[in-house]
A and B are shown apart, each in its own frame.
Chain A
Amino acid sequence: MKEMLERYPASPEYLLELLHDLQDAEPRNYLTSEALEAVAERLSMPLSEVVSTATFYSMYSLKPRGKHIIRLCESPPCQLLGAESLLDYISEQLSVGVGETTEDGVFTLETTSCLGVCGVAPAMMIDEEVYGNLTKESVLKVVEAVRRDDATG
């Protein structure tokens, strides 16, 4: 963690970058209290200010999440082409609500505002990958493929 903290100059300007890096490095995709404390110390900021900023932005989580984050777009272009029923379907198939993590800790289901790939709406991101033109069949295939890739390592 020390190496990561020293990647940027010790200025509050780099708070968002540090939070991104530390969260990405954590297998459960969240900001641990140790990480938040270390950032506060490195940037000489009150811990409360670090936490307050971290909780403002939707890409950060202070709670452990799944290994993979599913972000389904719920903006009007995706909504118009069926994102709502898709969300219900994924939620049912994975037995999780929005913001929850599957029992095996593999997936967290989240919604997101526009991902900027509306040409292929409805769309979602799993981690850094974008998937579009989703249907009930294809969304399940994608999720299963991610699970399979994990198993084969």
Chain B
Amino acid sequence: MRLARGHLLLGINDEALLAGAREVEAALRQALVEHGLTDEFEVIETGDTGFTGQGVTLVVHPDRVAYGNLGVADVQEIVTEHLLKGRPVERLVLHLPDPADKGSERIVLKNCGLIDPDSLEEAIAVGAYGAMAKIVEEHIPPAAVIDLVKESGLRGRGGAGFPTGLKWSFTAKGEQVYIICNADEGEPGTFKDRLILEGDPHRLIEGMMIAGYAVGASKGYIYIRGEYTLSIERMQRAIDSAREAGLLGQGILESEFAFDLEIKKGAGAYVCGEETSLIESIEGKRGFPRLKPPYPGAVGLWDKPTVVNNVETLANVPPIILHGPEWFRSFGTASCPGTKVYTILGHVNKPGLAEAEMGTTLKHIIDEYGGGIEDDKKFKGALIGGAAGAFVCPDCLDKPMDFDGLQELAAVLGSGAVLVFNEDASIVEMLDGILSFFKHESCGQCAPCRGGTRALKTIIGRIREGKGQPGDLDQMVEIAGTMQAMSLCPLGQSAILPITSALRHFKNEFEAAIA
């Protein structure tokens, strides 16, 4: 990195690009030239600066001042007022979380928005590959790495919350073992993994490397959904630069350990987020889920033992190794330590993302991170966990959210998507949208899901049109119940969640639509 008095971190992601980030960047570089500041300030493209929904964002370091919703017209003022005279342009300033406030501690997104994701040097400067180095230097054996992850209490962040260390320990030994990162983020309302892929790719590489070391895998795949163009590009560049630097390949960090990575691009199928479908897809087949057991830990990719972990899960691994399980357990709840990355959407003032400790209440997430309900309207409810998630009502606002706490409310944390809606929202319409989604994404392999999703969509469709019939609601629950019991994979098994939760909290709306 070139020495400079200050760094101007420009958030470059899909949202910023469509808000004109490239134009702002060009204007900024031009203005620095005009004012003779090119030797003093460096413009760095970073991933997400943590301010989703704020258009083009710019963070000035070391001042720690963040700007949002920038247009080309604002650039001159920032340069002349802030960079030249040291006076931040207040009208454009965004509130940065206070690092002293433990509630806003970031583990997973720590570096997102602070480093240039295309620079291996910057990643290393903030500690990337330090955990792997520690393993090599201190000769920590694979079994001890698994124990550390087990003791940390880390649970899978893809939705199901299965203990990660346990999953690793269940993986069979073999000549060839694979580690797969599930980056097929398709749960509606979820984009936490995209931010990690785009903002801190080396963290994921290191997480996979450590997982590979722990289970004896020399080869890893990152399966990224086909729509995530920027994620695929950034991840590929990160893998290439790590390989060039000798961090991937043979003899990593002068140890005996060999590990390499390959990206696989999805092609538009929600069901491929299910681990066995994803494996089928990597093998070049239709993404049909497999019958379990055997689980991938025993018979996975090309019938070899395989670990499949979510992006966010793997991103938690390096800091756990580096700082120890005790440190990790100091965040979150006893049964769900650590943080969770949430995406907060819908009728809130500031849609976006938040990394909060496990056990944070829904109210805190909506008010503190989402900026409260839009237009001072009344909170009616939220859909948590995406389409395969559940509706909650205002009674749930003060309940701590983690995998177990939500289960008590017959809800799920799932992927961490929080879709908030106000009093004007129609639950019948929303459920229609969700069940259309299930119908479209059912892979068609097993009959309960193939026929069930179609029947559910037909019923909710006629209820929405005002043509509902008596008994429709009971029939929906019955069909979804059969699907839950009989479907091959979690897709068909989950349709019951949004249905029963919608009926539990908002049944009167359905009855009114039928009557």
**Interface positions of A (Cβ within 8 A of B):** 11-17, 19-20, 43, 49, 52-53, 56-60, 74-77, 79-81, 112-121, 125, 128-132
Contact = CB atoms under 8 A, between A and B. Distances in A.
Ranked 6 nearest A-B pairs via Cβ? A57-B267, A15-B284, A75-B188, A119-B52, A58-B268, A59-B268
A4 B455 CA distance: 43
Highest count of chain B CB atoms <10 Å: which of A14, A43, A80, A113: A80
Given A16-B267, A120-B18, A121-B351, 16 more contacts: A16-B281, A53-B285, A56-B269, A59-B227, A74-B437, A76-B188, A77-B345, A80-B419, A80-B430, A113-B188, A115-B227, A116-B227, A118-B345, A119-B53, A119-B352, A120-B52
Interface of B: 14-15, 17-18, 52-53, 185-191, 194, 225-229, 264-270, 281-287, 343, 345-347, 351-353, 383, 386-387, 417, 419, 421, 425, 429-430, 433-434, 436-437, 440-441, 443
B15 A132 contact: yes
Contacts, number: 143
Contacts of A114: 186-190, 386
Contacts of B425: 80
Given A53-B286, A76-B387, A81-B346, A119 B191 contact: yes
Nearest to B191: A116
Contacts of B14: 117, 130, 132
A112 B268 contact: yes
A77 B419 contact: yes
A74 B434 CA distance: 10
Contact of A121 (B267, B345, B430): B345
Contact of B229 (A53, A80, A113, A128): A128
A115 to B, nearest CB: 6
Contacts of B421: 80
Contacts of B190: 114, 116, 118
Given A119-B351, A130-B17, A77 B188 contact: yes
Contacts of B225: 116
A107 B194 CA distance: 28
Given A12-B284, A113-B437, A76 B419 contact: yes
Contacts of B433: 74-76, 79
A125 B225 CA distance: 14
Contact of B226 (A20, A52, A119, A130): A20
